[in-house]
Amino acid sequence: MQRWLLLWPLFALALAAPVELKLNLRVGGQPLQFGQTYQTPQKQRYQIDLLKFYLSEVALVRPDGSEVRVPGLVLAEFKPGGPTQGVTLMRFEAPPGTYRGIRFNVGVPRELNHLDAATQSPPLGVNSGMYWAWNPGYIFFKLEGRAFLEPERRWVIHMGTDAFRIPVRLQDLQTPRLVLNLPGRGGSILLNLDVGAAFLPGPGGAFLDWRQEELRQLHGLSPQTRAFMGLVYQNLIQAFSLASPPLQSR
Amino acid sequence: MNARWTYFLLLLGLPGLLWLATLRVEGEGALSMPMVRLPLEPPDNPQTPAKVALGRRLFYDTRLSADGTVACASCHKPAFAFSDGGQRFSRGVGGQEGQRNAPSLTNVGHRRALFWEGRSPRLELQAVGPLTAHNEMAMTPEALAQRLEAIPSYAQAFREVFGEPPSLRMVTFALAAFQRTLLSYNSPFDRFQAGDLKALSPAAQRGMELFFSERGDCFHCHTGPEFTDDTPHNTALYTVYPDIGLARATGRDEDVGKFKTPTLRNVALTAPYMHDGSIPTLREVVMHYNRGGQPNLNADVLIRPLGLSEQEIDDLVAFLESLTDRSFTANPNLLPPAEP
């Protein structure tokens, strides 16, 4: 028994495969390009200038529904001049084997979100540019751009507060379609985020109409704009997907 | 008194205090000095003279804004007790107008809740707001750090004070240290409290009685030596509030129209009044309270018709005017430093 215990670390080492979690930004079916003009379903033309979000509480989901949790919190940032395809968000280790998906949250875990931001270290803290001075807590998801109206207008979506942590579940336990086979030598899991999906209309055709000033500054929980924040939130839950193939071995 | 503060006052504050003392000798020649209340220093950001000096430079420096036109002091002007001198709404970069009235920073180191809805817990975090807001100073953490690093005197000062290069975080720490020195306790009211019974006019004394009585009821919210409970209330300013106040942050209907009680120290210098600067004079503010405001479901129970006579309204105004501390607005240690 004693001897087995001594060997355990070696087993553990052999059992951990390196994984990279990578992201492609898309608009509809196309890779996102900064500087390119896109159109919402309501034919408002826009450009993306910044995308920044926290990713946390990542877990790989086993076929029996149990999870391999991955510790850590990362801040992803995309802006003109930087890459948008195959960008590594996070590196971690997980036991090789078969998985049926991945889940994560876009946001800062509740227990970290309300500590004193003046003393927290990166990627938290005020130097992140994600601290929300008017509200204790962080902006979880920041999307900024311009709308080509007459005249051109800047718009921002700053989503945060515990009510707007985005739970993303990319798993499929029922059908055998989704299988991630993580080999012992490790691999990359590739996600897509369709940024354009943020602007899809809601029930009854309600949409984020940038001609309205208050909808160009979407922050926090304000009852005046909350319905629209809720709409973008619902859209974003659906905006992540696994690329195909979802896993590339090393 | 904490030893560090003593040291700090000795080093930096002494000229100011001496100067204050001469003012008082020229003035009524009172018996005792009003007591200065020192704010608590956060353990992670102790006051030092060098840090305060750095914060003071930063406070007055327009280079902290994206287009180099706006400083903290553009909207918080010393002559107006660090409020925005008669402006209903202040202008940030590119002349963009904000939506709220810039509050006075009198004794701001004592506020336990910052901003009009009182949702920011400390000065170090509050300053992130104006520095990064698109219609105030519009900086990003990266741009701010680069800008200051390129100015040799700042690059050096940050290393001396914090042992690290300039960053948004260290800028807010230095600004907080300076703001904790914005102390004002030398109004006629303070001198009256300290024993100079001639410091207040009879009208101001009658107004004071009213203010602290159950009839005027002002002191329930404008509490204690700072004249604020640091808590948001709805004062029935409107039936439908264009700016919904606390609800903007909480999303709750019952928080619509709630704003933090402002301090009343130096209030005669900070017109126009209320979160949106919608009331131009103190007399009109008192008349608003006297009417009991507008019908509003969220209104605080204390807001109700008060039945004050014209004379009593004037008395209350005289009392509010007695909260003005001229030695504060002219304190040389708080004005722009010699080399920016």
The 3-state secondary structure of chain B reads CCHHHHHHHHHHHHHHHHHHHHHHHHCCCCCCCCCCCCCCCCCCCCCCHHHHHHHHHHHCCHHHCCCCCCCHHHHCEHHHCCECCCCCCCECHHHCECCCCCCCCCCHHHCCCECCCCCECCHHHHCHHHHHCCCCCCCCHHHHHHHHHCCHHHHHHHHHHHCCCCCHHHHHHHHHHHHCCCCCCCCHHHHHHCCCCCCCCHHHHHHHHHHCCCCCCHHHCCCCCCCCCCCEECCCCCCCCCCCECHHHHCCHHHCCEEECCCCCCHHHCCCECCCCCECCHHHHHHHHHHCCCCCCCCCCCCCCCCCCHHHHHHHHHHHHCCCCHHHHCCHHHCCCCCC
Percentage with pLDDT > 70 across chain A: 94
Taking Cα atoms as reference points, which of B123, B165, B166, B126 lies closest to residue B144? B166
Beta-carbon separation of B250 and A154 below 8 A? no
> Does a structural domain hold residue B103?
yes
**Dist CA B62 CA B74 (whole Å):** 8
Residues making up chain B, counted from first to last: 340
Does A80 reach chain B within 8 Å, measured CB to CB? no
Nearest to A223 among B126, B127, B251 (CB): B251
**Dist CA A111 CA B39 (whole Å):** 29
B145 and B57 share a domain? Answer: yes
Nearest to A127 among B122, B125, B168 (CB): B168
Beta-carbon separation of B168 and A154 below 8 A? no
Residues of chain B with confidence (pLDDT) below 70: 1-32, 339-340
Say which residue, B26 or A57, is predicted with more confidence: A57
> Does a structural domain hold residue B10?
no
Q: Residues 6 or more apart from B232 whose CB is under 8 A from it?
A: B117, B118, B245, B246, B255, B258, B259, B260, B261
B134 and B86 share a domain? Answer: yes
Does A154 reach chain B within 8 Å, measured CB to CB? yes
Candidates A52, A132, A134, partner chain B, best to mutate (most B CBs within 10 A): A134
> Does a structural domain hold residue B238?
yes
Beta-carbon separation of B134 and A221 below 8 A? no
Which chain A residues are Cβ-neighbours of B117 within 8 angstroms? 134
Candidates A116, A119, A126, A229, partner chain B, best to mutate (most B CBs within 10 A): A126
Give the tokens for residue B145.
């750090």
B152 and B258 share a domain? Answer: no
B155 and B234 share a domain? Answer: no
ipTM: 0.85
**For strand B259-260 and strand A97-99, is the pairing parallel, antiparallel, or unpaired?**
unpaired
Per the CB < 8 A criterion, the answer to whether B39 and B9 are in contact is no
Nearest chain A residue to B121 by CA distance is A136
> Does a structural domain hold residue B39?
no
Domain extent at residue B69: 49-182+327-334
* Residue A48 bridge partners (DSSP): A145
B59 and B169 share a domain? Answer: yes
Beta-carbon separation of B169 and A126 below 8 A? yes
Does A248 reach chain B within 8 Å, measured CB to CB? no
Nearest to B119 among A116, A128, A135 (CB): A135
B219 and B279 share a domain? Answer: yes
Nearest chain A residue to B173 by CA distance is A118
Beta-carbon separation of B125 and A118 below 8 A? yes
**Predicted local confidence at residue A229, as pLDDT:** 93
What number is the average pLDDT over the span A109-122?
A: 95
Taking Cα atoms as reference points, which of B25, B244, B301, B107 lies closest to residue A225? B244
Does B175 reach chain A within 8 Å, measured CB to CB? no
> Does a structural domain hold residue B164?
yes
> Does a structural domain hold residue B29?
no
**For strand A45-61 and strand A217-219, is the pairing parallel, antiparallel, or unpaired?**
unpaired
What number is the average pLDDT over the span A110-135?
A: 94
| Residue B203: exposure state from Cβ atoms within 10 A (0-12, 13-18, ≥19) | middle
Beta-carbon separation of A118 and B122 below 8 A? yes
Taking Cα atoms as reference points, which of B183, B166, B155, B135 lies closest to residue B12? B183
B144 and B67 share a domain? Answer: yes
B317 and B199 share a domain? Answer: yes
Which chain B residues are Cβ-neighbours of A134 within 8 angstroms? 115, 117, 119-120, 129, 248-249
Q: Which sign, positive or negative, has the C-alpha torsion A21, A27, A32, A35?
A: negative
B64 and B160 share a domain? Answer: yes
**Predicted local confidence at residue A136, as pLDDT:** 77
Is residue A7 scored above 70 in pLDDT? no
Nearest chain B residue to A135 by CA distance is B119
Confidence class of residue A173 from pLDDT cuts 50, 70 and 90?
confident
Question: pLDDT tens digits, residue range B253-268?
Answer: 999 999 999 999 999 9
Does B96 reach chain A within 8 Å, measured CB to CB? no
> Does a structural domain hold residue B32?
no
**Predicted local confidence at residue B8, as pLDDT:** 47
Nearest chain A residue to B250 by CA distance is A221
Q: What does the angle CA B333 – CA B273 – CA B52 come to, to the nearest 5 degrees?
A: 20
B218 and B281 share a domain? Answer: yes
Per the CB < 8 A criterion, the answer to whether B12 and B52 are in contact is yes
Candidates B112, B179, B248, B259, partner chain A, best to mutate (most A CBs within 10 A): B248
Residues making up chain A, counted from first to last: 250
**How far B90 CA sits from the closest chain A CA (Å)?**
17
Q: How many CB pairs under 8 A join A and B?
A: 77
B274 and B317 share a domain? Answer: yes
Nearest to A134 among B44, B115, B244 (CB): B115
What number is the average pLDDT over the span A76-81?
A: 97
**Predicted local confidence at residue B248, as pLDDT:** 86
B58 and B132 share a domain? Answer: yes
| Domain containing residue B132: CATH number | 1.10.760.10
**Dist CA B101 CA B86 (whole Å):** 10
Q: What is the pTM of this model?
A: 0.90
Domain count, chain B: 2
**Predicted local confidence at residue A39, as pLDDT:** 96
Say which residue, A220 or A234, is predicted with more confidence: A234
> Does a structural domain hold residue B300?
yes
**Dist CA A100 CA B251 (whole Å):** 37
Which chain B residues are Cβ-neighbours of A222 within 8 angstroms? 244, 247-248, 251
**For strand A45-61 and strand A67-78, is the pairing parallel, antiparallel, or unpaired?**
antiparallel
Confidence class of residue A179 from pLDDT cuts 50, 70 and 90?
confident
What phi and psi, each to the nearest 5 degrees, are found at residue B231? -125, 145
